[in-house]
Amino acid sequence: MADYKSSELLRFTTAGSVDDGKSTLIGRLLYDSKSIYQDQYDTIKATSERRGEETVNLALLTDGLKSEREQGITIDVAYRYFSTPKRKFIIADTPGHIQYTRNMVTGASTANVALVLVDARNGVVEQTKRHAIIASLLQIPHLVVCINKMDLVDYKEEAYDKIQRDFEQFAAKLDVKDVHFIPISALEGDNVVNRSTKMPWFEGQTLMYYLENVHIASDHNYIDVRFPVQYVIRPYSDEFHDYRGYAGRVAGGIIKVGDEVTLLPSGFSSKIANIVGAGGDQKEAFPPQSVTILLENDFDLSRGDMIVRKNNQPEVTQDVDIMLCWFDSNKPLKEKGKYTLLHTTQEVRCVIQKIRYKLDINTLHRDEEDSVIGMNDIGRIQIRTTKPLFADAYRKNRITGSVILVDEGTNNTIAAGMIV
């Protein structure tokens, strides 16, 4: 039981439609890892019986809202939780309908691992490619291709081999570093939590073993120091009279007491005098810790400013190229349109200077003739902001390289972008 103090957090995303067995897989993970409570199990058992199903339908564990059941679809990302003695898991369960890009991109934005489900009978289809492309665009560090429904192809190695070959051939064009393949049957429980006895030819690990052991400690950027100032702590009390602490979450690098730092946008230099963490003073801070930083000479920073290391600075710029995913179903992206942009702890306005191309998310083809970016579309654009951003390429840092756009009329979040 004392294990919980060394347990890591792993976030993963599953994308897919109703038919590829995604809900069954999540149900299976929860059930076989004993994360299901008796009363939950009794409820789905009763529902399965009422519907005349032969076995308990584990997919019902991920059943959602009334309005979703009425329409027979999932409308939104749902978050699910389970843990084993080794790790705590957060699943972003993203539906493949209507707002598929929006949902997948949302789930992918914080994930360490993406599970891509492939139906063993159908092989690599358009939707598989789309999932993989989004995982690659969003720079999810690890990708697992779960070749599901192996029971329906008699657990044959050939089916698995063909899918692995097809996927690898296609993935060569993508920017994914770590891809794993696992043949499973979510329905029968093969290679999900328990090792299958029906696929002796498969020498790899089960999905659960993978999730518990995949190396995620280097998923953050520990090299380039980036500390966006989130909030200024000023106690105004006798005891802490001149206290001015810069609170924030470390976005990159390892910050140490005594380090020489540069303050953006002023460019002034200072030194880290102290770091106060959730457990008290600490000598260093790293992602994703929330800490408060005290500087030796104070230059009155405010929210949106950034503390970085001398000689290692992000680009300070008003002109940025971004890969944009558009979410708004009411209107497309407008060239020359003006939007509010959120980046780290900064909020600025921006104007769309140029739509460079639209990306076909099934083939990766760049269409420079097509400049209509509508719902679910991805395109590369150039923007200009009212104030400089302290920006890194998304490939280098997922936190200092990401933005969202907000519609100034409706206040809705209408796009997500990755700095190129």
Partner 1 sequence: MNYHINHLQELESESIFILREVASKFENPVLMFSGGKDSILMVHLAYKAFYPAKVPFTLLHIDTGHNFEETLKFRDELVKKTGAKLIVGSVQDAIDSGMVTEEKGFSASRNGLQTAVLLDELEKGKFDAALGGARRDEEKARAKERFFSHRDDFGQWDPKNQRPELWNLFNAKHNLGEHFRVFPISNWTELDVWQYLAMEKVELPSLYYAHERLVIERDGVLLADSEYIPKKEGEKAFKEMVRCRTIGDVTCTGVWRSDAKTTEDIIEEIATTRMTERGGRTDDKRSETSMEDRKKKGYF
Neighbours of 243 (CB within 10 A): 13
Length of the chain (residues): 420
Please report which residue ranges of 51-182 form alpha helices under DSSP H: 66-71, 100-108, 126-137, 157-171
The long-range contacts involving 287-290, CB below 8 angstroms and separated by at least 24 positions, are 287/220, 287/221, 287/222, 287/249, 287/250, 287/251, 287/252, 287/253, 287/399, 288/220, 288/249, 288/250, 289/249, 289/250, 290/247, 290/248, 290/249, 290/250
DSSP 8-class letter at 194: B
Look at the alpha carbons of 14, 20, 26, 29 in this order and tell me if their dihedral is positive or negative: negative
- Whichever of 96 and 248 has its CB closer to partner 1, that residue is 248
Radius of gyration of the chain (CA): 24
Q: At its nearest, how many Å lie between partner 1 and the CB of residue 353? A: 22
Binders of partner 1 among residues 264 to 283 (CB under 8 A) are 276, 278
Binders of partner 1 among residues 349 to 388 (CB under 8 A) are none
Determine if 345 is a binding residue for partner 1 (CB under 8 A). yes
Determine if 67 is a binding residue for partner 1 (CB under 8 A). yes
Determine if 403 is a binding residue for partner 1 (CB under 8 A). yes
Q: Which of the stretches 51-59, 196-204, 378-386, 410-418 binds partner 1 when contact is defined by CB under 8 A?
A: 410-418
Binders of partner 1 among residues 127 to 166 (CB under 8 A) are none
Binders of partner 1 among residues 71 to 100 (CB under 8 A) are 75-81, 83, 87-88, 90
- The packing angle between helices 157-171 and 126-137, to 10°, is 50
Determine if 6 is a binding residue for partner 1 (CB under 8 A). yes
Query: Six-digit token pair at 85?
Result: 């003695």
Beta strand pairing call for 315-326 and 413-419 = antiparallel
Determine if 313 is a binding residue for partner 1 (CB under 8 A). no
Determine if 303 is a binding residue for partner 1 (CB under 8 A). yes
DSSP for 145-177?
Answer: EEEE-GGGGTT-HHHHHHHHHHHHHHHTTS---
Determine if 336 is a binding residue for partner 1 (CB under 8 A). no
Binders of partner 1 among residues 227 to 256 (CB under 8 A) are 230-231, 233-237, 239-240, 243, 247-249, 254
Determine if 70 is a binding residue for partner 1 (CB under 8 A). no
- Whichever of 157 and 259 has its CB closer to partner 1, that residue is 259
Q: Which of the stretches 59-67, 183-191, 330-338, 383-391 binds partner 1 when contact is defined by CB under 8 A?
A: 59-67
d(CA 307, CA 127): 42
| Vertex 241 angle, CA 238 and 246, to 5° | 135
Query: What is the distance of C-alpha 43 from the center of its chain?
Result: 31
* Binding map of partner 1 across residues 11-40, x = CB under 8 A, - = no contact: --------------------------xxxx
Q: At its nearest, how many Å lie between partner 1 and the CB of residue 416? A: 5
Q: At its nearest, how many Å lie between partner 1 and the CB of residue 151? A: 29
Q: Which of the stretches 15-23, 139-147, 216-224, 383-391 binds partner 1 when contact is defined by CB under 8 A?
A: 216-224
Q: Are 282 and 291 in contact (CB under 8 A)?
A: yes
When binding is defined by CB under 8 A, the residue of 150, 199, 399, 419 that contacts partner 1 is 399
- Whichever of 393 and 406 has its CB closer to partner 1, that residue is 406
Q: Which of the stretches 104-112, 142-150, 267-275, 349-357 binds partner 1 when contact is defined by CB under 8 A?
A: 104-112
